[in-house]
Amino acid sequence: MGLTIGIPKEHRPFEYRVGLTPLGVSIQTEQGHQCYVESNAGVGSGFTDTRYEQAGARIAYGIEEVFRRADLLLKVQRPTEKEVSWMAEGQTLMAFMFLASAQRSRLEALREKRATVIAFELIEEADGTQPVMTPLSQIGGRMAAQIAAQYLQNDKGGSGQLLGGIAGIPPARVVIVGAGRVGVSATQAFLGMGANVTLLDLDLKKLQSAQDRFNGLVSTIMAYPSNLARACEKADVVVGAIQTPGRPTPKIISHEMVQTMHPGAIIIDMSIDQGGCVETSRPTQHDQPTFVVDGVIHYCVPNIPGVVGRTATHAFLNAAWPYIQIVASEGLDAALEKLPALRCGLVLREGKLTG
């Protein structure tokens, strides 16, 4: 017997991604499942209701309908308090949850619903890779460079520098803290725009890998507090790219370090979805993405890839599809047996914590 799969519209501000493409709906429909898609759920990613209908979906015009009907809910962002209230008991939810930065009440509400929850960001293969997070980390890292270039401009409150400099004028000094997926992607983008890049991490193997990958074009430094303080003091742009899946990010850039930075410098805290790695950070949104502390511009938007909905949706679902497909077609028990990486992402099982 087929499942009822719900694909709601993302109701958080400035979130344009969607939990399943029309192609995915078509495949699920052919396998005997019924897909309900909330009206206009895919518009931000370039998918009209008509395309979903042609793929075999039923369009739901009531906001609550998708949540109440579904056996399996496919979302991008964790559900809001209101969305949790619309859920029926015993449903399975697959989404990016980032529970380390969520209100405790959200988790408790899901437990009360006896929900089974798979957090995409926690799915981890035996080699330590996190396949569903990887493409979004790459997108976020690459976007950091274009964000920095914009906010270095005078009209954005920046110091008036061209990121890559020009003949006779040196490029901006960019400090990236964290040599994981986000940090390496950001390094690639900043180097491509001509910036002077310094990459810090406490893992020497990661620094060696970056040194080799970028043919010595990036300076690499161990992220000891004294080194971090000196790097921040000289920086025009600081990118916080610390990754601690499932745990709050440590505040490794202190307020004192921020105070040493020059007016018009920029901090982009890419770790903000896990609480942020900068002591002066707080979450912002795309309509008001920045605030200033001690003359330093802070950019702290948690869902940076959400505004490139088309690219981000395709990238995310390319990676998430094998896990979605096996859960839908074979059930959770078989999925956990065949794809052990899913066990890392299983946060709740029928309302009970699994960790």
pLDDT, one tens digit per residue, over 322-336 is 999 999 999 999 999
- The whole-number pLDDT of residue 2 equals 87
Report the distance separating Cα 242 and Cα 100, nearest Å. 14
Compute the average pLDDT of residues 215-241. Answer: 97
- The domain tally of the chain equals 2
Share of the chain above pLDDT 70, in %: 99
Q: Which of 269, 291, 306 is the last residue of a domain?
A: 306
Residue 118 sits in the same domain as residue 217:
no
The answer on 44 and 9 residing in a single domain is: yes
Mean pLDDT, residues 277-288 taken together: 96
Assign residue 281 the CATH number of its domain. Answer: 3.40.50.720
Residue 348: which domain range? 4-126+310-353
Average pLDDT over residues 201-211: 97
Q: In what order do the strands lie in the sheet with 72-77?
A: 58-60, 34-38, 4-7, 72-77, 92-96, 116-119, 346-349, 352-353
Regarding whether 85 and 23 lie in a shared domain, the answer is yes
302 and 188 in one domain?
Answer: yes
pLDDT (mean) for 279-304? 96
Nearest partner of 151 among 265, 260, 6, 23, judged by Cα: 265
Is the pLDDT assigned to residue 100 strictly greater than 90? no
Based on the fold, state whether residues 288 and 152 are members of the same structural domain: yes
pLDDT tens digits, 130-159:
999 999 999 999 999 999 999 999 999 999
On the question of pLDDT at 166 being above 80, the answer is: yes
Q: Is the pLDDT of residue 96 over 90?
A: yes
Name the nearest CA neighbour of 84 among 118, 120, 58, 108.
108
- Find the mean pLDDT for residues 164-192: 97
Q: Give the span between the Cα atoms of 300 and 265, in whole angstroms.
A: 14
CA distances from 5 to 67, 75, 158, 180, 267 (A): 9, 11, 47, 34, 40
pLDDT at 1 (0 to 100) = 64
Whether residues 248 and 103 share a domain: the answer is: no
With b for 16 or more beta-carbon neighbours within 10 A and e for fewer, the 108-136 pattern comes to ebbeebbbbbbbbbbbbeeeeebbbbbbb
Mean pLDDT of 74-100: 94
pLDDT at site 99:
84
Question: For the residues 98-122, what does the mean pLDDT come to?
Answer: 90
Mean pLDDT over the full length of the chain? 95
Do 44 and 112 belong to one domain? yes
Do 215 and 249 belong together in one domain? yes
CB 77 within 8 A of CB 101: no
Q: Looking at the structure, tell me whether residues 118 and 215 fall in a common domain.
A: no
Helix H or strand E segment including 27? helix 22-30
Q: How large is the average pLDDT for residues 124-129? A: 92
Mean pLDDT of 76-88: 94
* 260 touches 249 (CB < 8 A): no
How far is 300 from 73, CA to CA, in rounded Å?
Answer: 28
Residue 327, Cα to own-chain centre: how many angstroms? 22
Over residues 295-309, mean pLDDT = 96
259 and 142 in a common domain: yes
pLDDT digits (tens, 9 = 90+) for 8-50: 999 999 999 999 999 999 999 999 999 999 999 999 999 999 9
- State the CB neighbour count (10 A cutoff) for residue 170: 10
Q: Are residues 13 and 114 in the same domain?
A: yes
Q: Where are the beta strands (DSSP E) in the chain?
A: 4-7, 34-38, 58-60, 72-77, 92-96, 116-119, 173-177, 196-201, 219-222, 237-240, 266-269, 290-293, 296-299, 346-349, 352-353
